[in-house]
Copies of this chain bind each other. A is one copy, B any other.
């Protein structure tokens, strides 16, 4: 007896098609290390990035965007002011936003700030195991992720060798990816920006999140087939994101 195929890959292909048609604007408040790569990932994926953090104009950029990314990787005073304004705008306009609490396990003040940001109702929090445990004060176990997501009213996207997307009702596990993804700076940050792009064209945030992680993981596998090391891998993954199509999503997906 065959198990029916998981519905995600076909749904992800639909979301990708909508993304490329709509070309949503994603305003990304992200760290200085990640800005350039994140912008290029968004462009290759099919979205339009903007990146300003100036308090004078962040409201205007957020208002003209379809989704927002708030990445805490550079935690300077100006960015914190910008975050507050942009989140206010997203909230009042009913637009989705993603929180990426980079490296909060290494910085107690950043962790405090991230916990306050969770109270501002992000659609999705993307983080790794150590970051989750710092944010939640809980072990990153499947049941715990779901409970945390339900209590906080958001989707948790825990990335690692296997990515887990939990919203309190469902767990989607995505097993695609390649070890070189950990050797390119800002790869996780770029993944968070891709989640924001998918949220702009898909109302179910868990599905949007899983789509972004699936697309990035499969692009990573395809890039690793071409690349000679982490340098060329970072280049090839952009080409592979740009070329990614329904057939590759469906053929290569490892989703449970």
- Which residues of chain A have a CB within 8 Å of any CB of chain B? 31-37, 39-40, 43-44, 49-54, 56-57, 60-61, 64, 73-78, 103, 106-110, 182-186, 227-232, 234-240, 242-243
A228 to B60, CA, bound (A): 36
Provide the residues of chain B in CB contact with A33, threshold 8 Å.
35-36, 39, 51
Provide the residues of chain B in CB contact with A64, threshold 8 Å.
106
Tell whether A52 pairs with B230 under 8 Å between CB atoms, given A43-B183, A78-B76, A242-B183: no
A228 to B219, CA, bound (A): 14
Provide the residues of chain B in CB contact with A228, threshold 8 Å.
236, 239, 243
Nearest-neighbor residue (CB-CB) of A43 within chain B = B183
Copies of this protein in the assembly total 3
User: Judging by beta carbons under 8 Å apart, are B231 and A60 in contact?
Assistant: no
User: Judging by beta carbons under 8 Å apart, are A54 and B75 in contact?
Assistant: yes
- Nearest 5 CB-CB pairings of A with B: A231-B238, A229-B239, A39-B185, A57-B107, A229-B242
A77 to B76, CA, bound (A): 12
User: Judging by beta carbons under 8 Å apart, are B232 and A43 in contact?
Assistant: no
| Sample of 24 A–B contacts (CB below 8 Å) | A31-B51, A32-B51, A34-B36, A40-B184, A40-B230, A43-B182, A50-B103, A54-B77, A56-B75, A57-B75, A57-B107, A57-B108, A60-B109, A61-B106, A61-B107, A77-B78, A183-B242, A228-B236, A228-B239, A230-B238, A231-B234, A231-B235, A232-B235, A232-B239
A110 to B56, CA, bound (A): 9
A156 to B182, CA, bound (A): 33
Provide the residues of chain B in CB contact with A236, threshold 8 Å.
228, 231-232
Provide the residues of chain B in CB contact with A73, threshold 8 Å.
51-52
Tell whether A52 pairs with B39 under 8 Å between CB atoms, given A231-B237, A232-B235, A239-B229: no
User: Judging by beta carbons under 8 Å apart, are B52 and A107 in contact?
Assistant: yes
